[in-house]
A and B are shown apart, each in its own frame.
Chain A
Amino acid sequence: MSSAHSQGRWAPWVLLAPFLLVSATFLVYPMVQSIALSMQQTFGPAHQEFVGLSNFGHIVADPLFWRAVRNTLVFTAGSVFIQIPLALGLALLLDRPGLRGRAFLRTVFFAPVLVGVVFVAMIFGVMFEKRTGLVNQALHSAIGWDLDFPWLQRYVMPALIVASLWQYVGFNMVYFLGALQNVRKELLEAATIDGAGPWRRFIHVIIPQIRPVGTFVVLLSIVGSFQLFELPYVLLNGTAGPDNRGLTIVMYLYQMGFDQGDLGYASAVGWLLAMILIMFTVLQRWLGGESGRRAAA
C-alpha cells in the first residue's frame, strides 16, 4: 500500500517531466537568454558587450522601426476591416438555406489556404508586374488602367493585402460558417415572429451568438498580421521593397538580426513586438468583456 502511495505521489511529476524538460530547454531558457541578449551587442559568443537599454532606445529613435510599425498596422487594418467582413459575408452566403453546391463552394474558397505562402507570394509577384503582369493587363483591358502601375514599387501594402485576402479569406470564412451553423434556430424564429427583419436578426441575434468565434478570428488575424514576414519577403525578393514600403516589424527584426548580424538589437525588437501583441490581446479581451457585459445587461 505504501509503495502504491509513493507511486501515486511521484507519478504526476514523472508524467510532467518530459514537458517540463522540453519547455525549460526550448522555451524558458531561450526566453530568459533573449532578455539578456536584448541588452547586449554581440559579434559571436566571443564578443559580447552589455549596452543596457540602449538597444531599446535606438529602436524607438529609429524612423525605420516606426515605418515598420506603420506598415504592419496598415496590413493589420486591412486584415481586420476588409478580410474579416468579407469572410463573414461569404459565410453568410454559404449559410443560406437551400444553397446548392455549398460543399463545392466551401472547398473553392478554402483551397487557397492549402497553397504555401511562398507560392502565393511568387504567383502574386508575377501578377503584379508592371506592363506584363496579369493585374495591370486585365485592368488595362477592362478600364484603360495604367500598364505601368507600380504595385510592387509604390503600392506594396495594398498588393500585400490583396494577396493575403486571396489566401486567408476562406480560412476565416470556415470559422464563421461553423459559428453560423450553431446559431440557435429558435432565437431566429422568435425574432422573426416578433417582426425583426434580416438586418435586425443579424445585428441582434446572429452577431451576439457568433461573438466568441468573431473575437477569436479577430485575435488570430491581429497576431498573424503582426507576424507578417514570408509574404513580403518573397514577394519583394528578400528586401523590404523600395523605400521600405513592404517593411514589417518581423522583417525589421530579421534584417537587424540576420542581415546586419545585430542579434541583441533583434532580440529587443522581438520583445517590443511581444509587448505590442500582449497589449492588443489584453485590450481586445477587455473590450470583448465590456461589450459582452453590455449585451448581457
Chain B
Amino acid sequence: MSDAGLSNKRPAIRTPASLGVWTVAAAAVLSSVAMAVLPGEAASGVQMWTFARLHKQLYDPIIAAWPAEARPQITLMSFPALERRMLQGFLAESPTAELIEAERRVAARAFVGPLESVGFVDLTDRLSAEGLLEQINAPSFGPWTSRGRIFGLPHDVHPVMLAYRADIVEAAGIDVAAIETWDDFVRLMSPLMHERGADPSGKPSRYLLNLWEDKDDFIELLLLQAGGGFFDESESVRIATDVNARVISTIVSWCHGPGRIAADAPDFTASGNQLKAEGYVLAAFMPDWMCNIWKNEIPQLAGKVKVMPIPAWERGGRRTSVWGGTMLGIAKTAANQDELWEIVKRLYISPELARSMYVEGDIVTPVRSFWGDPVFDAPDPYFAGQRKGREFINLAPDVPLRTSSPYNTLAKLRVQTAVISLAAYADSTGKFTPEELEPRAMELLRAAEKQVRTQIGRNVFLSGPDSPHAEPIGGGS
C-alpha cells in the first residue's frame, strides 16, 4: 500500500485545532492555574461547628463579649452536613473544626470503631480533675460516654413532661395533681375523649395522647421511663425484657382496639400542629426544647397549655423521661487542646448561657449549681403562667440513663418494627389488652434483639474481649 493510497483513505491531520478548541483549552489551563495560585479564604481563629440555629443565636452575643483571641468562629450547618463533615474528618483525617457540637445520633457515629480511633478528645480525666462530673447532672453524660470514657461536655438535660390542654382539662374540673400513673391518666381523662362526639368517620373526634405505634422517639422515651430501653449500663443489648414487652403491649393497647386513647398528630408538621390546635389530642410528650417549637409553630395555643410530669408506670415510679441531647467536643486533631478546653468550659458552663438557653430556647442547663437561678421561676405566659422551668428542673435529676451505642438508632428501628408488628397482630387476632399481647410482644422483641446482635457481631472493631458488645448472638436477656 503506497503512501498516496493511504493518504487517500485517511487524510493526515495537518491543520491545527480550531479557534474554539484553543479557547476552551486556554480557559481550562488559566482557570486551573488561578485555582492553584490564588490563596483560598483561610479560616482564622478557633473554628466551631453547630447544627442548631438557636444555639448559634444564643452563643453569638455571649462570645461577642470575649477577647478576640478566645472567640471561636461559629459555623452553622445542616444536621446531615455536620454529620458528613465530622465523619469525613475523623475517618479520613481531613480538616474539621476544632470544636464540634454534635447531637446524640451524630456523636454516636464517632463511637463505631476502636476506642483509640474516636475522633473526639477523651475528656474524662479533665472532667474528673476539675470536679465537673459532680457539677453536671450525671445522666447527661450518658450519650457521650463510650466504653467508660467521656468525649463531650453535655449541653442539656432534656427532661420530658406531658403538655396538656389546660383550657379543656380544667374546664372539665379535672385536677391533674390527682394523676400519678398512666392508669390514673386514662381513668380521669377518658370522659373528655367522648364529650366532643364523633367525627364524620364515626370515630372519636378527640384522643387523650399524641402517640402512634410508628413513633420511635415516643416508644424509646416510654421504654426509658419504665426502666427499659435497648442497652444496659455496660452498653450490652437488652431488648427482649419483661419491662419492654409490657410497655410496647400497652402502647399498642392505647393505639388499637376498644381501649384506644391515642392518635397521631405528628410533631414538626403543619397538619400535626393543626390537629393539636384543634384539640384532636389533649396531651403530648414535651421535652424542654419542644416548648420553644410549640411557641413558634403553634402560637394559637398560648395560654391554653400546661405541663405536668409524665404519669408513672406504677405508683412511686419515674415521672419523666429524656428525648434528644447535644454535646460539645474537641476534635482530636486540634493542636491547642488545653486552650480549646477552656473555651468549651467558658461557653457551656457559663451562667449567661444557662440563662439565655432557658429564656430564648426553654432549655434547662445540666449545670446543677445554676438551677437556683430565679429565671427558672418566671411564669411562662404560653404555659398559662406556669413556672415550667422549675417543673423541668425538679425532674432533671430523675432523667433515665442512656448509652452512647452507635447501634441505638438501629435498635430503635427494630423495636419500632416490633411494635408495628404487634399492632398488626392485635388487629388480626382481636387481642387488645396488654396482658393478651405480652407473650407475642416478647417474641417480637427477641427477634429484634437477635437482629441487633447480629449487626453488632459483624463489627470486627468492637468484637475484642473487652468490648461490651462481645456477646454471643442470641444470648442475654
List A residues at the B interface (Cβ < 8 Å). 1, 4-5, 7-8, 11, 41, 43-47, 49, 51, 54, 58, 62-64, 126, 129-133, 140, 144, 146-148, 153, 239, 242-244, 258-262, 265
Contacts and interface: CB of A to CB of B under 8 A. Distances in A.
A8 B13 contact: yes
B285 to A, nearest CB: 18
Contacts of B84: 258
B199 A147 contact: yes
Contact of B417 (A54, A243, A261): A243
Interface string B84-96: 1001001111000
A63 B416 CA distance: 16
A58 B461 CA distance: 17
B421 A243 contact: yes
Given A7-B13, A62-B454, A243-B420, 5 more contacts: A47-B461, A132-B270, A140-B200, A243-B421, A244-B417
Contacts of B6: 5, 8
B214 interface: yes
A261 B201 contact: no
B13 A153 contact: no
6 contacts: A44-B92, A44-B117, A45-B91, A130-B271, A132-B270, A265-B458
B464 to A, nearest CB: 12
A44 B91 CA distance: 4
Given A46-B117, A133-B271, A148-B201, A51 B460 contact: yes
A4 B214 contact: no
Nearest to B213: A242
B12 A259 contact: no
Contacts of A261: 87, 91, 109, 112
A9 B264 CA distance: 72
Contacts of B109: 261
**B12, B275, B409, B459 interface centre (most CB from chain A within 10 Å):** B12
Interface string B1-22: 0010011001011100000000
A132 B274 contact: yes
B112 A43 contact: yes
Interface of B: 3, 6-7, 10, 12-14, 84, 87, 90-93, 109, 112-114, 117, 199-201, 203, 212-214, 264, 269-271, 274-275, 280, 406, 409-410, 413, 416-417, 420-421, 451, 454-455, 458-461
Contact of A242 (B91, B200, B214, B409): B214
A41 B460 contact: yes
B271 A131 contact: yes
A44 B417 contact: no
A62 B10 CA distance: 59
B114 A43 contact: yes
Contact of A4 (B14, B199, B201, B417): B14
Contact of B201 (A1, A146, A153): A146
Given A140-B201, A147-B200, A259 B271 contact: no
Given A44-B117, A129-B271, A259 B200 contact: no
A238 to B, nearest CB: 8
A268 to B, nearest CB: 12
A129 B417 CA distance: 21
Contacts of B454: 58, 62
A74 B136 CA distance: 52
Given A43-B117, A261-B109, A243 B416 contact: yes
A259 B84 CA distance: 10
